[in-house]
Amino acid sequence: MNVPAKSQWTVSASSGDARAAIDDAYSTHWACAPGADSWLVIDLGQAATLGGIEIYWGRLFADVYTIESSLDGQAWSPLCATAYGEGGQNVFAFPPAEARYLRWRGANKSQDKGVEIVEINVYGPENAAKVLEPGRIAALGHGAVRIPTGESLTVDFGYVRSPLGVLVKWGADYGKHFSVHLSDDGETFREVGRIDTGNGDYDNFYWRITTSRYLRFSVHQASSPEGVVIEELKLRILNKDRMPIGQLERAAQAARADLYPQSLLARQLYWTVLGEWDHPEEALFDEYGNLEPQMGSAQIMPLLRLDGALHGAAGAEDLAQSLAEGSLPIPSVAWSQSGLALTSTALARGGAAFVEHRLSNPTSRHLSGSLVLALRPVQINPYWQHGGHAPVNAIEVEGRQIRVNGRPFAALSRAPDSLTVCDFDQGDVVSQIAQGPLPTGASLQSMSGLVSAAFEFAFELAPGDSTSVVVAAALREGVTLDAAVDFPSLKAATLSAWREKIGPRRISVGDLEVSDTVEAQTGLILVNATRHAFKPGPRNYDRVWIRDGSSQALALLYAGLIEEAKTYAAWYAERVYPNGMVPPILNPDGTVNRGYGSDIEFDAQGQLVDMVADIYRISGDQDFLRAVYEPVLRATRFIEELVARTNAIHEPESRFYGLLAPSISHEGYNKPTYSYWDDFFALSAYRNAAWLARELGDEATAAEMEAKGKDFAANLARSMRLTAERRGLGLVPASADRDDVDPTSTSIVFELLRVDDVLPAECIGPTYDMYREHLEVIRKPDFKGGFTPYEIRNLNAFVALGRLEDAYGLLTDSLSWRRPPGWRHWAEVTWGDPRVAEYIGDMPHTWIGAEFATVIRRMLVRENGDTLELLRAVPEDWWAGDGIALRELPTCFGMLNLTARRDGARVTVELSLSGKPPAAVTLRYAGAQRAEADGAACVIEDGLIRAPCFKRLVIE
């Protein structure tokens, strides 16, 4: 029996209009209200033989759900299920089953969100995905399947699709060595993933964006002679084949590339954020001057019409990006065409994002044409970043006001000379106006989700003249939009407000790129932040991790924003569980985030304690310390519980004994692991808790924490040595169970934690030799892989180890990883090919930015007990021009002001501190022959100058 057409189906649900889930329209969705008992029932109209189901998800998806079948609507049987919902598209296949009714039942881990199902498709066995090996189709969501060692499971999608990865959930018998291959024709397969350290439970594969019809999962070694049991092989499929984003892509690929959002052409693009420090909302502004005012909204793209032809920024050879004063979060994009210059400058003010598009004529001839602003149903965040389509079903224009989907969207500084609003017809609005303006009505409604518009503004410019159009778009609800503003005055006021907020430039060196980039992180952290907390990104990472936030708090602390750091620490401390566990991820409103990683990231324990200690060292605020002291101790004591979980299953002689329980804190691990990263934070927590207790006169607690910290350090050092010896490569291990090496995670032992005494000393040098070899690989012009700029933290290790030339090389590399460099920030992932359409996490990624700002500060200023260490690592170009200037820099010794200038062979350092002076000061200057501090000779050893605290130091 064939599956009936959807016109014969009926549907009901626990809430919402469920018809949208079966209407064959991929621009609508069923929105289900939050709840633990969400359900949807489809009546196919008659019984049919089923073989597969596909679900296309909207923005909200179910973590865990089941689909059951029934012939009478009374007796139900399990059909397919997943416990690993991730959105996108789910593809299930199963042995042929007779059914008339289907019931979807959600069981989300988080009950505070609903779901959005765009479309459910049901297939008979002939049209569903197939498994070529007999008897193994149940693995695709129906039930457990056994596969002998040396055999495979091969999926035929039925046509060429875009697989992104797989998740395999193991039974009692699991794979120890297994791989995934793809094929276009079922004959020639290419490997896309391999794991040879499998240890059960589940494993993940992700690979770069590609297409294929066939996927083969092969088992090479198993934990049992009988092979493996796969409980679920979850296919990750890019869900754009029938979605509106696919239609937009096909239109863009058939047209002029520079006239369309570059993501539609599978080209990576980069963006920055607009926002206000006292509000959480953020707009995106991309490298071509396009604006996305709210999360998930449509974008506005500037184009030029000259001599009748349209031109876009993506086709310009002189495209450039910049920030106001080189570092403040007021970005600009500049490009030109046929002599005409267009500069788009963006800022946030009063709940709105303003963009001024200024046209200038620097030539000696008269120029005429028009500025075209195209409103497109595409997010700036690409589909491979969980963005893509921005549904637009209605546009209404009244004078200078624009409404999208019935809500205020944007305002224009003047009415356009020509207005075009259209639905999608093998192309969007730009294809309609390619040959010239095409005036239409001022409003249009459609259920396509692909309505677009173009606003055209004619200009005539004499030599030297300029004109502009300003767009104002709402960042949040309830904002009255008015774009008829004096933009230069608005920009000046916004710039002044930002300067007042962040204060004077704290760090200046002869390399302006470094100075600008350090200061830029302060503004970017504040833009990404909420009123109480720090987020690492504006879209994909619109959540609050203490891992990221503690680093950002330290960056703001070093930048003089001490109260902001204290506010975050106090806010997070209030949310420590009664048992002492620190929730690793919070939602922006302060509730616990129950998504991936919730409550299994145990570095959070140490990060809370260490953040409080850092803030107290600088601020000396005992009222703050008393307010957070109890949750800090609770968090530290919970470390014992985490160790007890490990010790309950491992003997004292094992290399696991005394470590924290497995977690996924380490960014590179996709399942719980005995990561030393967690243990480093735990050890630092014990030591900092002891110090904080002593600062408050709590000697009993201080002694308790010191003793526990000593035992923990001994177990950790022993474990690392055993693991290193087991591996036999003479390298510092990153975990106890994976036998892997990761210098970037190990580097935290030097800074920010200073627990390097637990490392096997003979392994340190070879480990960072290995990292230097990695740098040589990614520096090559033909490098096509990806890596994360978290590697910036290896600067701390190189400096601590005295490997200054390696440090300077990495510093140069890290600046080259900024994209675009004029916006002074990083994405979470950098690819050798800057235009490859691959996941980059989020940007600006202000955890990475914070790592950069704090490492530069430590290269210049570092407190070490009662010693102040200055100019520990200064590249030659930092001495250029006026040299080094540090202004109102918070330290443990009060506010520090310093100037260091070089005149020929003489260096003069002026230093002032507002607090208790250090017992000693050290300063490194290669080649120093003689030095006098306030007229007294200093001790010099291998370029390291030692002196009492001084006001003036002269080096020859």
pLDDT band at 110 (very low <50, low <70, confident <90, very high): low
What is the average pLDDT across 934-938? 97
pLDDT at position 595 is 80
Residue 43 scores a pLDDT above 90? yes
Instruction: Return the residue matching tokens 């001024």.
Output: 356
Strands, E assignment, 58-210: 65-70, 77-82, 89-106, 115-123, 130-131, 145-147, 152-161, 163-170, 175-183, 189-195, 202-206
pLDDT bucket at 91, cuts 50 / 70 / 90:
very high
Q: How do residues 418-436 score in pLDDT, each as one tens digit?
A: 999 999 988 899 999 999 9
pLDDT given for residue 27 in this prediction = 85
User: What residue type is assigned to position 842 of the chain?
Assistant: D
Given a cut of 80, whether residue 214 has pLDDT beyond it is yes
Instruction: Quick: pLDDT tens for 693-707.
Output: 999 999 999 999 999
In order of 108, 160, 209, 834, the CA distances from 838 in angstroms are 29, 19, 7, 9
| pLDDT 10s digits, 246-297 | 999 999 999 999 999 999 999 999 999 999 999 999 999 999 999 999 999 9
Instruction: Give the C-alpha distances (Å, rounded to integers) separating 913 from 861, 895, 921.
Output: 12, 6, 12
- Helix axes 699-727 and 622-647, enclosed angle (nearest 10): 40
Output the pLDDT for position 656. Answer: 98
Q: What pLDDT, on the 0 to 100 scale, is given for residue 842?
A: 97
pLDDT of residue 111: 55
pLDDT at 17: 94
Q: Which two tokens stand for residue 861?
A: 């200023």
Give the pLDDT score at 763: 98
Summarize the confidence of residues 150-160 as an average pLDDT.
97
User: Average of pLDDT values for 326-349?
Assistant: 98
Instruction: Work out the percent of the chain whose per-residue pLDDT is above 70.
Output: 99
Q: Give the burial string for 648-663 (b: 16+ CB within 10 Å, else e).
A: eebeeeebbbbbbbbb
pLDDT of the residue at 578:
98
User: Mean pLDDT over residues 781-789, rounded?
Assistant: 96
Quick check: 112 pLDDT over 80?
A: no
Q: In angstroms, how far is the first alpha carbon of the chain from the final one?
A: 93
Each residue's pLDDT tens digit, 812-863: 999 999 999 999 999 999 999 999 999 999 999 999 999 999 999 999 999 9
Inter-CA distances, 741 with 179, 676, 724, 734, 802, Å: 22, 11, 10, 5, 21
35 has a pLDDT exceeding 80: no
Report the predicted TM-score, pTM, of the whole model to 2 decimal places. Answer: 0.94
Q: How would residue 108 be classed by pLDDT, with cut points 50, 70 and 90? A: low
Is pLDDT at 32 greater than 60 in this prediction? yes
In this model, does residue 521 exceed pLDDT 80? yes
Q: How do residues 890-931 score in pLDDT, each as one tens digit?
A: 999 999 999 999 999 999 999 999 999 999 999 999 999 999
- pLDDT band of residue 764 (cuts 50, 70, 90) is very high
Report the mean per-residue pLDDT for the chain: 96
Supply the pLDDT for residue 34: 86
pLDDT tens-place string over residues 593-645: 988 788 999 999 999 999 999 999 999 999 999 999 999 999 999 999 999 99
Question: For the stretch 696-720, what's the b/e string if a residue is b when 16 or more beta carbons lie within 10 angstroms of its beta carbon?
Answer: eebeebbebbbebbeebbebbbebb
- Burial classification of residue 519, based on how many CB atoms lie within 10 Å of its CB (0-12 exposed, 13-18 middle, 19 or more buried): buried
- For residue range 539-573, list pLDDT tens digits in order: 999 999 999 999 999 999 999 999 999 999 999 99
Q: What is the pLDDT of residue 670?
A: 80
